[in-house]
Amino acid sequence: MVMKKNIQESAINKNPGKESAFQESAFQESARRTKGLLKHQMMHQIKHQLQPHKRIGYLKTFLLLLLALLIIMPLALLFSSSLKDDRFQITAELGSLKAFFVTNPSFNNYIEILGPQAPVPMARFFLNSCIVMAGTVAGTLLVSTMTAYALLRGKFRFKRVIMTGIIALYIIPAEAIMLPLLFLSVKIHLTDTYIIQMLPFMASPIYIFLFHQFFKEIPASIAESAQIEGASFWKIFHLVYVPLNVPALVTVTILQGMESWNQYLWPLLVVRSENVRPMTVAIASFFSTSDIYWDRLFAASVVMMMPILVLYLVFQKYFIASIASSAVKV
């Protein structure tokens, strides 16, 4: 053994390169083991730290699903009840889960409210609401965009003061000026017309401010280039500023359309005849009698909800883009 050891030592002394190679391989093996151990410890630590975040994520998902369920449940109840032909069955099942299920679906309720022999001309009221909403949205887009553009690009004094006054008008509730508007509409004989249901809502301070903020994001050099090319003040407006703000136009269309479609108090004050009565006032008339036809009421509510739902689904992409960008602009 002693002789073998001496032989190995003499071999190592004769070949120092082998000794350095052996030490280097031992060092690499030790470094590899240390690296693996550190990696294992780091993964364990990261996994331990992520566990509370996973629990919070699961809790957020559960709360969002619960919130979505609470939002969907009334809509599901509305649709299912509109397909039930027996109003007494609807009232009997409202306190149980049976209210969400339909055993024998029927469209008789929709035929009764929209057909030519309907006791209440709901189709006419639906058309009236569409006319008022279309006129209000068109007037709002025209007035708001032109006002915002004039306040931004117009050359006159006190533009900031005027803009501040317009924003300040937003804090005044509409109900506070309804009685003066009612007296004025009676004096000029505009009651029982479509136009009186549109006029008070066409100039909205919040939408003027919104368009003003969007228009400010357009570089002034674009308008100056168009002006050098010979474009007039209003030609620059409808060829440059309007096309570059389609998301803002869609957003105002949806928001003002919803507001106009859901108007109840003002039409109730200024409309008396059925020829121009909107659907909101007509639906409220279901509660004016002691005997409420819940089946027809639910069907009319579904019909009233559909236009706004379709409007949002069609322009959803532009609406989301506008909301995302307006968070930065405003």
Confidence of residue 36 (pLDDT cuts 50, 70, 90): low
Enumerate residues 6+ apart whose C-beta is below 8 A from 100: 73, 76, 77, 80
Confidence of residue 44 (pLDDT cuts 50, 70, 90): low
Q: For residue 184, what are the CA distances in angstroms to 21, 190, 196, 210, 313?
A: 103, 9, 10, 29, 38
pLDDT digits (tens, 9 = 90+) for 117-172: 777 788 899 999 999 999 999 999 999 999 999 998 888 888 889 999 988 888 88
State yes or no: pLDDT of 46 exceeds 70: no
pLDDT of residue 146: 93
Q: How wide is the angle at C-alpha 322 spanned by C-alphas 319 and 327, nearest 5°?
A: 130
Domain boundaries, the chain: 23-70, 107-329
Give helix 246-261 / helix 205-216 axis angle, nearest 10°.
170
Which amino acid, residue 265?
L
CATH superfamily of 107-329: MetI-like (1.10.3720.10)
The stretch 282-305 carries a mean pLDDT of 83
3-state secondary structure of 283: helix
State yes or no: pLDDT of 97 exceeds 80: yes
Q: Comparing 292 with 189, which gets the higher pLDDT?
A: 189
State yes or no: pLDDT of 54 exceeds 50: yes
Give helix 122-153 / helix 294-314 axis angle, nearest 10°.
30
Distance CA 87, CA 81 (A): 9
DSSP alpha helix (H) spans, 83-114: 87-93, 108-114
Distance CA 1, CA 64 (A): 77
Which residue do the tokens 């294992």 mark? 40
- Return mean pLDDT, the chain: 81
Identify whether the C-beta of residue 262 lies closer than 8 Å to the C-beta of residue 254. no
State yes or no: pLDDT of 12 exceeds 50: no
Task: Extract the tokens encoding 2.
Answer: 């002693």
State yes or no: pLDDT of 243 exceeds 50: yes
* This prediction's pTM: 0.75
pLDDT digits (tens, 9 = 90+) for 206-236: 999 999 999 988 888 888 888 888 888 888 8
Distance CA 273, CA 124 (A): 12
The stretch 60-66 carries a mean pLDDT of 88
Enumerate residues 6+ apart whose C-beta is below 8 A from 281: 125, 264, 267, 268, 271
State yes or no: pLDDT of 2 exceeds 50: no
